[in-house]
Amino acid sequence: MTIRYDYVIIGGGPASVWAAATLRENDKMGSILLIGEESHPPYDRPPLSKKMLIDDAVTVDDPYTKFDNFYPDNNIELKKNTRVERINRPDKTLSLVGGESVGYGKLLIATGARPNPPEFAGGDLPGVYLLRHIEDSLAIRDALKANKRLLLVGSGYIGMEVAAAGIKRGLEVTIVDPAPHPWSKFASPKFGAFIRDYYEKQGVNFLLGESVDRIEESAEGGLTVTLKSGKTLQTDMVVAGVGAKLNTELAEGAGLPTDPKKGIRTNANLQTEDPSIFVAGDVALFEDTIMGQNWHLEHHLNAKWQGQAVGKNMAGANEPYAKVPYFFSDEFDLHIIIRGLGQGGEETQFVGDVDGAEFTELYYSKEGLLQMGISVSRSEETCDALANKLETLILEKFNVLTNSNQVEKVLSVEN
Ligand code: NAD
């Protein structure tokens, strides 16, 4: 027998839980089913590469997005440990692994992403880790406590955050990346030089322009890492953070317009070409009316905000998702926020005290149009205030060149 729900949500991440919560606020009576394949209720990932790694007091359920009786209290049915095998659009049902079938009135696909597997040989050896789930974070935490040497493959979000955790735990830390500077996906070479220098002062060793060829178990214990240049390194553990692969397969199988690298295509309301199917979070290739792009974003606040927006839309609001993208990262004692494009700009300008690690870097087009800002501060409040200022400036289409004499003033947090 197929049980039908008014709303079915596939995926156990923050986009899903925020969609469910917002659906319930906007539709008191509709039946809601949330299906996740993990053994946990939906949880937030930011602590997994930060606090959970350095603080033994963080327990397995601390990252959960909602606590207590949120699901039963809100009449949201939560089906954990469950994988959807197929979306059957003609009869609006889902086939679950194990043979069960459920029906939907409206469907949300929020299937997220998974870590790219390392391309080098030895990626499956004990001591080599990927990071996506709570269990991965706990396993890495245990390994950080048991070992002396840590090698990171990749200087993106995971590589840089886990490196900071490794230093805090007293390990010798090395980062390998073929890119010329850390965070090369979005940061300018000048910002890359700043962050590299900051990390080096904390003791991190960078091997940039290098990539891993293979990892083997070492006769003396630990791991031998051979780089493509022929150089070899000894380490006790490796964490690879070489980007994510979007979980687009279900949508593809259902015949929805999908690009495996960019996501599942939606309009500005996060609705696919099938009006009963919506998408949110990492996997949504959406029409971004604010930034003027069709793209997907892999970040916590994007998942949360899109979940809230899509919940409203599934309940009938029909409103475009309209937020200036917001990324954040914590490294050592620094808070770092990014507003805007998340992929840099043609020109950049520093405002503030770079040597003192209290500054903003503005990224703008050749014509001066502000596209992105990165702010760095030791104060979370200052970063929050700067994030709001950058949002306003981007929405106002601030021109950095024609307003060059105002830049310092508009970014002053005392303003
Ligand atoms: P990423 O895209 O941030 O960084 C990937 C890095 O790997 C890049 O620096 C790239 O140059 C490097 N790389 C690519 N191929 C390589 C190779 N063969 N050898 C060495 N380096 C290589 O991806 P990530 O750090 O793996 O993060 C995965 C996902 O988790 C992303 O979706 C990310 O947004 C998310 N995440 C976000 C945060 C945050 O926003 N603070 C924190 C952790 C994870």
Q: Which helix (H) or strand (E) holds 71?
A: helix 70-73
pLDDT at residue 345 tops 80: no
The CA–CA distances, whole Å, from 4 to 104, 106, 368 equal: 6, 10, 53
| CB 53 near ligand 1, within 6 Å | no
Looking from the CA of residue 328, the nearest atom of ligand 1 is: 41
| CB 329 near ligand 1, within 6 Å | yes
Can you read off the two tokens belonging to residue 222? 């630990």
Q: Where are the alpha helices (DSSP H) in 99-187?
A: 134-146, 157-168
pLDDT at residue 415 tops 70: no
| CB 153 near ligand 1, within 6 Å | yes
289-300 residue pLDDT tens:
999 999 999 999
156 C-alpha to center of ligand 1: Å?
4
- DSSP string over 200-245: HHTT-EEEET--EEEEEE-TTSSEEEEETTS-EEEESEEEE---EE
pLDDT at residue 3 tops 80: yes
In the predicted model, what is the mean pLDDT of the chain?
96
Q: To test the ligand 1 pocket, which listed residue (158, 208, 231, 331) has its Cβ within 8 A of the most ligand atoms?
A: 158
288 C-alpha to center of ligand 1: Å?
23
| pLDDT at position 37 | 97
Can you read off the two tokens belonging to residue 140? 């890495």
| pLDDT at position 161 | 98
| pLDDT at position 343 | 74
| CB 161 near ligand 1, within 6 Å | yes
- Residue 86 pLDDT class (50, 70, 90 cuts): very high
| pLDDT at position 413 | 84
pLDDT at residue 149 tops 60: yes
Q: Give the side-chain half-sphere CA count within 13 A for 381.
A: 2
Amino acid letter, 200: E
Domain with CATH 3.30.390.30 in the chain: 333-410
214-255 residue pLDDT tens:
999 999 899 999 999 999 999 999 999 999 999 999 999 999
- Residue 1 pLDDT class (50, 70, 90 cuts): confident
347-402 residue pLDDT tens:
899 999 999 999 999 999 999 999 999 999 999 999 999 999 999 999 999 999 99
Residue 263: closest CA among 241, 240, 293, 308: 293
Lowest-pLDDT range of 48-52, 67-71, 345-349, 356-360: 345-349
| CB 247 near ligand 1, within 6 Å | no
The domain 3-114+244-314 is placed in CATH, from the list 3.40.1190.20, 3.90.10.10, 3.50.50.60, 3.20.20.370, at 3.50.50.60
Amino acid letter, 389: K
Domain with CATH 3.50.50.60 in the chain: 3-114+244-314, 117-240
115 C-alpha to center of ligand 1: Å?
9
| CB 299 near ligand 1, within 6 Å | yes
Q: To test the ligand 1 pocket, which listed residue (151, 298, 299) has its Cβ within 8 A of the most ligand atoms?
A: 298
Q: Which CATH superfamily is domain 333-410 in?
A: FAD/NAD-linked reductase, C-terminal dimerisation domain (3.30.390.30)
Q: Give the side-chain half-sphere CA count within 13 A for 347.
A: 11
Lowest-pLDDT range of 53-62, 100-109, 261-270, 343-352: 343-352
User: Can you point out the beta strands (E) in 253-406?
Assistant: 258-259, 263-265, 277-279, 284-288, 293-295, 326-331, 334-340, 347-353, 358-364, 370-377
| CB 158 near ligand 1, within 6 Å | yes
| CB 156 near ligand 1, within 6 Å | yes
The domain 117-240 is placed in CATH, from the list 3.50.50.60, 3.30.2130.10, 3.30.460.80, 3.30.499.10, at 3.50.50.60
Q: To test the ligand 1 pocket, which listed residue (49, 242, 296, 304) has its Cβ within 8 A of the most ligand atoms?
A: 242
63 C-alpha to center of ligand 1: Å?
21
| CB 243 near ligand 1, within 6 Å | yes
